[in-house]
Amino acid sequence: MSDQRYVVVGGGISGLAAAYALRKKHPQAEILLLEAQDHLGGVIHTDRYSGYVIEAGPDSILRRKPEAIALAEAIGLASIGTNPGAHGAYIYHRGRFYDIPPGVQSGVPTDVWALVQSGLLSWPGKLRAGFDFFLPRITRPNDDIALGRFLRYRFGDEVVDRLAAPMLSGIYAGNIDQMSMDATFPHFKDLEAKHRSIVQGARQTRPAPPSSSGPRPSMFATFAGGLESYIEALSKSLGDVDQRCHTPVVSLEPSSDQGVEVVTEQETIVANGVILAIPAFAAATLLSTHARMVSHVLEAVTYADLAVIGALYKASGPAIPEDKTGFLVPRGEGFQMTACTYVSSKWHYPDVPEGAVIRSYYGRAGEDILAMNDAELLALYRREMHDLLPKLGDPDYTVVFRQPRAIPQYQVGHLRKMAAAVQQLRTDCPRIALAGSYIDGVGIPDCVRRSYAAVEQMD
């Protein structure tokens, strides 16, 4: 048996990536992965009812951040892209579905003529958006600012409420007027610093069109059996890592010989190093005795609850467009639904039976959507979908995914606080490192990157 032992607390994508990196760096060490729940994967879970693919949480990996796809390839898992025939989504406004105007990047318009032609904005709203060409800078290099404040200043309320907020806050299920720009879309600050006008800066820096005449490479990826295939393949690749579910960690006790005692309900494990790949509130509890400042910072991180409803329609007819990925519902439209994905249009999973699959999302910052039980959520879904897509009919199968405290909220100053907490932990407990979506990125590639950094911290 090796005289080195490392423990990873948490079996989501962050924990599995940390275990993988530890195994690469310490091939002879004993590695244990401890998960409190009865399954690995965290918020990643795929319902494969009758051969269909319905995701409970995230449904894709952003390709331009390479860490997650590179890890998948390293373990022999091939990815698939989105359907090249589906281009963009609709925005629902006042009883109609509008195309997102061409040229909108991360909620910011770059094609002025397309914005003028769109019926989504009023003429005063379109004129106000043009102020971006003339307004002075609002940001300063070392100061964070609320994303909503920045975009409202540059483009006005209509662009924010009808375009930017549903597109951007949907990623974080957050309030755009409280969301940290540094932690979410820092390139907006860079564009303003270099070009003053965000529209002109975005137009000058957007990537050149592909040289070939074929379809553009997909920005997003998944796997033939859904994202849970990633969890399964990664877990299998860690065959010599002791992976234990139903094993919550009760406490951590840094020992005098530069190790850490990991106390579970069953035993005490002495480790050379520990990586906490768990939510901020869970890490705060384990660090409350020996790293109080760090615990206090992590405890202050808030999370948004989500409810995701998957539905299968075996005979959908023309109700679900094949050329769109879904629609977004801004606040103030009279619906609790925030967005809907046409799964069967967005992804062409191989060997899936005929039929249309959709996912609808519920839960905004400040809402207690999970106070409703499953029956109430399904009744809400049926009412709202009947109003939004009356031709859709009744689903043949539905499933409710409850995601309590699913997405961390990146409020103004978040990155600075997290950087201070990570650094302070190196002083308080140098053999304990942090990983997870709450630190500096909620996407799967961000989680993988942060886990790799945590492993390097073990030196």
Position 202 scores a pLDDT of 82
Burial of residue 146 (number of CB atoms within 10 Å: 0-12, 13-18, 19+)? middle
Please determine, for residue 365, whether its predicted confidence score (pLDDT) is greater than 80: no
Q: CA dist 173 to 92, 165, 361, 429, Å? A: 18, 10, 10, 33
| pLDDT of the residue at 20 | 98
Q: What's the CA gap between 415 and 278, in Å, rounded?
A: 18
What pLDDT digit, counting tens, does each position of 70-107 carry? 999 999 999 999 999 998 899 999 999 999 988 887 77
Token pair in block for residue 98: 């509008």
Mean pLDDT (the chain) is 92
272 CA to centre of own chain: 31
Element (H, E) at 271: strand 268-271
Comma-separated ranges of CATH 3.50.50.60 domains in the chain: 5-43+225-301+411-456
* Whether pLDDT at 359 is above 70: yes
Q: Percent of the chain beyond pLDDT 90? A: 79
Class of domain 305-407: alpha beta
pLDDT range class, residue 317, cuts 50, 70, 90: low
Where are the CATH 1.10.3110.10 domain residues in the chain?
104-205
CATH 3.90.660.20 intervals, the chain: 305-407
The confidence score (pLDDT) of residue 1 equals 47
Identify the pLDDT of residue 210: 54
| Spatial separation of the C-alpha atoms in residues 215 and 441, rounded to whole Å | 29
| pLDDT for res 380 | 97
Whether the per-residue pLDDT at 37 is higher than 80: the answer is: yes
DSSP string for 114-178 = HHHH-SSS-HHHHHHHGGGGTPPP---TT---BHHHHHHHHH-HHHIIIIIIIIIIHHHTS-TTT
238-292 tens-digit pLDDT: 999 999 999 999 999 987 667 899 999 999 999 999 999 999 999 999 999 999 9
With b for 16 or more beta-carbon neighbours within 10 A and e for fewer, the 230-264 pattern comes to: bbbbbbebbeebebeeebebeebebeeeebbebeb
Which architecture characterizes domain 104-205 according to CATH? Answer: Orthogonal Bundle (1.10)
Strands 80-81 and 46-47: unpaired
Assign domain 5-43+225-301+411-456 one CATH number from 3.40.50.720, 3.30.1110.20, 3.50.50.60, 3.30.70.890: 3.50.50.60
Asked if the model's pLDDT at residue 115 lies above 80, the reply is yes
Looking at residue 87, its pLDDT comes to 86
- Name the residue with tokens 């106070």: 371
What share of the chain in percent tops pLDDT 70? 96
pLDDT of residue 17: 98
Residues 360-371 have a mean pLDDT of 88
